[in-house]
């Protein structure tokens, strides 16, 4: 399983490089890509928490199982983290890092929301993501 996962990661990285070309290795491109991925997380989380809770109308069906939408938001933030982490690294200001770390470690620290009946409001998640995005340091 571990080997198969590594193959998927390697293939994904090759596809990213093929699509972006030389721009892939610039902090400005990675910063824009991370911002796009974080914006997608905002949208997924808003869907996940419609009605003020994370609910399931039909298990396993996107759009009807909001745990899937929550997990998508969580994974988009993990993808943004990966984009910023690999060389060349994209740095965050102290405030941007604090907001991003709160998202990754507290709000999305577990696979499912800590309290599905009372999730963190989507407006709060959006505000934290906006802080993280403002904190992206772009050089080049």
How many C-beta atoms surround the C-beta of residue 107 within 10 A?
19
Question: Does residue 38 contact residue 135 with C-beta atoms inside 8 Å?
Answer: no
Nearest Cα to Cα of residue 76 among 46, 120, 52, 98: 46
State pTM to two decimals.
0.85
Q: Compute the distance between CA of residue 36 and CA of residue 96 in angstroms, rounded to an integer.
A: 16
Fill in the DSSP letter of residue 23: G
Q: For each of the chain's 140 residues, which pLDDT tens digit applies?
A: 678 878 887 888 788 788 878 888 888 888 999 999 999 999 999 999 999 999 999 998 888 899 999 999 999 999 999 888 887 788 999 999 999 999 999 999 999 999 999 999 999 999 999 999 999 987 65
Residue 49 in domain: yes
Domain that holds residue 72: 27-137
Residue 18 in domain: no
**Number of separate domains in the chain:** 1
CA torsion 24-30-33-37 (nearest 10°) is 130
How many C-beta atoms surround the C-beta of residue 130 within 10 A?
15
Nearest Cα to Cα of residue 25 among 101, 88, 68: 88
């Amino acid at each position: 399983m571990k080997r198969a996962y590594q193959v998927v990661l390697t293939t994904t990285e090759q596809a990213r490089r093929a699509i972006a070309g030389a721009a892939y290795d610039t902090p400005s491109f990675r910063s824009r890509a991370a911002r796009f991925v974080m914006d997608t997380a905002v949208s997924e989380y808003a869907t996940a928490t419609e009605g003020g809770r994370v609910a399931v109308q039909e298990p396993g069906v996107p759009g009807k199982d909001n745990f899937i939408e929550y997990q998508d938001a969580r994974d988009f933030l993990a993808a943004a983290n990966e984009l910023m982490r690999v060389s060349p690294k994209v740095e965050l200001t102290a405030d941007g890092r604090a907001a991003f770390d709160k998202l990754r470690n507290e709000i999305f620290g577990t696979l499912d929301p800590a309290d599905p009946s009372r999730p963190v409001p989507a407006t709060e998640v959006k505000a934290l993501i906006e802080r993280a995005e403002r904190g992206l340091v772009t050089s080049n």
